[in-house]
Amino acid sequence: MAYDPNWPRWVQASVADHFKVAATAQQYPALVEGIDERTTEFMESTNRLEIRVNGPFIREMSKDYWQFLVDANILIFSHMGGASPNAYVGTEMAGYMAQAASQSIPIYKYGTGVDDDQSLIGCLTLRPGKDESIRVYHFGEINREDRMRQYGVDISLEMTICL
């Protein structure tokens, strides 16, 4: 079977949904870059995160055997001394997102088109290799006046499917 032009959309929608559900479960305001709007309420949130999905990078390994490589990054904003006196809120947020990354991420045929039957096509898992599959960064205080800190969680994932 040939490359399916829906694969990128299904992968991006499924990965974004996975991380947004994980953020919402912890009551973190979250948006998916390029999909959700940056409302005033969101931008004024003491602690919030933005989800970005890069890829999939797809190649046919052999006839009808496809490899998908996906990178996701989550940018976290945490106001030091905001609603919570806990200076580690941003680090805790990063930990919850890293935990969500450690789970298999199901890829569904999301959408409303004729090919979008919501069925499962496979699951992304952490990409093995010499580089870490989950990386947590602390960028520090980006604005001394507002005491806003930034953190990042970068995730490398993969999936293979055989058609």
DSSP states of 2-19: PPPTTHHHHHHHHHHHHH
> What number of CA atoms fall less than 13 Å from residue 48's CA on the CB side?
16
Where are the chain's structural domains?
A: 7-162
CATH fold for the domain made of 7-162: STM4215-like (3.30.2000)
For residue 12, give the amino acid letter: Q
Give residue 82's pLDDT band: very low, low, confident or very high (50, 70, 90). Answer: low
Can you tell me the distance from the alpha carbon of 87 to that of 102, in angstroms, rounded to the nearest whole number?
A: 25
Is residue 137 within 8 Å of 151, Cβ to Cβ?
A: yes
Q: What is the per-residue pLDDT across 101-144, written as a single tens digit (0 to 9) for each? A: 999 999 999 999 999 999 999 999 999 876 678 999 998 887 67
Beta bridge partners of 123: 106
For residue 16, give the amino acid letter: A
pLDDT above 60 for 157: yes
